[in-house]
Structure 1
Amino acid sequence: MHILETDHLYLREYQKNDFSSLHAIFSDAETMKYYPAPFTVEKTKNWIETNQNRYMQDGFGLWAVCLKDTDEVIGDCGLTKQLVEGNNEVEIGYHINKKYWGKGYATEAATCCRELAFNQIGCKQLICIINPQNKQSIRVAEKLGFTFHKEAIVFNQLHSIYALTK
């Protein structure tokens, strides 16, 4: 079942057979440069399971990003609840396979997630938690209309928090 659809992509819930495609992304050192480390097999499995649990608990999570033309899983994008300095926030997150970088897919997927959050879920504000050195991710957030809000320690690291209010 498609959760969201764009001109080139559709987003759907993770499935068991997505492991190989997602692990290829999450285990890649360049893709995960701004994370503490690339994901192990176990960490990728936990990532999938955590998001499947989010679908049931929150009604949303990170979804598989698939190319319409080929059905290939090229990343993930979606909404997650995050605790930032004691405040419950909803974050838009995205990861795209590096062979598809520069094609606008992260922006395309995140744009429809933003619209879902504001127009169907009823969020009043969204955030992006970004390593301050991750210029590509900052550029995506800015294209979505997010602006720098503050710096905060999240996931035991200093991050830039970008925010967008409806």
Structure 2
Amino acid sequence: MQHNTSQGLFKIDCGDLYLQEFSIEDAYHIYRISNQPEIYHFLPDWKSTKEQRLDWVTNYEIPANKVFLEAAANNTDIGDHFLKLGVFIKETDEFIGWCCTGIKEELPAPNREIMYAISNEFQGKGYATKAAVVLIDYLFSHTNVEILNAVALINNVSSHKVIEKCKFSYNGQQTIENEGYNHYILNKSEWKKKR
């Protein structure tokens, strides 16, 4: 299911897609996608300049991924570490989005979430669902995670569909930074039953 590439990058196969830990080469693609109106409307914190994104990928996201992956490999206890994976089309190696996990501080504990974004030209093809399912499976199979959260702005209909296809259960509304979100939860035990 997962392995390291020739560059030593963590990678998970998803059939016609693969997830791979961020590399410096991904910074421009993350910048480009995060500045698409369809993306920054729902994920404003991801919007950046090229220079900011390169700095964040190089100095924060890549090192954070290494810490997460080391913790997962050594004892499955990932603590509050973050993992940010690019979503790629396998046939062309094209970077089309990301699928990530980390702590959502605005939620009550346990507050590990998954989140995702797919470039506008690749939306509506099931790629976000496929990437999220594979990340969920990895987290429940290879780490100590027992509960996952997902949140989506109330008007983000596409994201709600992805979350529901991933077998999350609706857990009410949450206000985060003065915005209304639908909050969903997925328990490891439920995931195993629904697979």
| TM-score, normalised via structure 2 length | 0.76
Deviation for aligned residue 1:65: 0.7
Partner of 2:68: 58
Is 1:91 paired with 2:134?
no
Computing the radius of gyration from Cα coordinates, the structure with the larger value is 2
TM-aligned CA distance change 1:47 to 1:164, over 3 Å: farther
Once residues 149 and 25 of structure 1 are traced to their aligned partners in structure 2, the CA distance between those partners, rounded to angstroms, is 29
Asked if the contact 1:145/1:164 (under 8 Å) is kept, the reply is yes
After superposition, the C-alpha distances for 1:80-129 in whole angstroms (9 at most, x for unaligned) are 12223452421111110110011111111111101011111121110112
Deviation for aligned residue 1:153: 2.9
Asked if the contact 1:96/1:105 (under 8 Å) is kept, the reply is yes
Partner of 2:16: 8
Listed as ranges, the gaps of 5+ residues in structure 1 are none
Once residues 149 and 50 of structure 1 are traced to their aligned partners in structure 2, the CA distance between those partners, rounded to angstroms, is 31
Partner of 1:32: 40
Once residues 52 and 181 of structure 2 are traced to their aligned partners in structure 1, the CA distance between those partners, rounded to angstroms, is 21
Partner of 1:131: 153
Deviation for aligned residue 1:33: 1.6
TM-aligned CA distance change 1:50 to 1:132, over 3 Å: farther
Asked if the contact 1:65/1:109 (under 8 Å) is kept, the reply is yes
Asked if the contact 2:85/2:100 (under 8 Å) is kept, the reply is yes
Once residues 37 and 56 of structure 2 are traced to their aligned partners in structure 1, the CA distance between those partners, rounded to angstroms, is 17
Once residues 97 and 145 of structure 1 are traced to their aligned partners in structure 2, the CA distance between those partners, rounded to angstroms, is 23
Listed as ranges, the gaps of 5+ residues in structure 2 are 70-81, 189-195
Asked if the contact 2:111/2:149 (under 8 Å) is kept, the reply is yes
Deviation for aligned residue 1:163: 0.8
**Identity rate of aligned residues, in percent?**
26
Partner of 2:103: 81
Q: Give the 3-state SS of the residue equivalent to 2:174 in structure 1.
A: strand
Is 1:67 paired with 2:76?
no
Q: In structure 1, give the amino acid aligned to 2:53.
A: T
After superposition, the C-alpha distances for 1:13-71 in whole angstroms (9 at most, x for unaligned) are 11111122111110111222223477121553355343323213333512011111000
Once residues 152 and 134 of structure 2 are traced to their aligned partners in structure 1, the CA distance between those partners, rounded to angstroms, is 19
Deviation for aligned residue 1:159: 1.9
| TM-score, normalised via structure 1 length | 0.89
Once residues 73 and 114 of structure 1 are traced to their aligned partners in structure 2, the CA distance between those partners, rounded to angstroms, is 20
TM-aligned CA distance change 1:159 to 1:63, over 3 Å: same
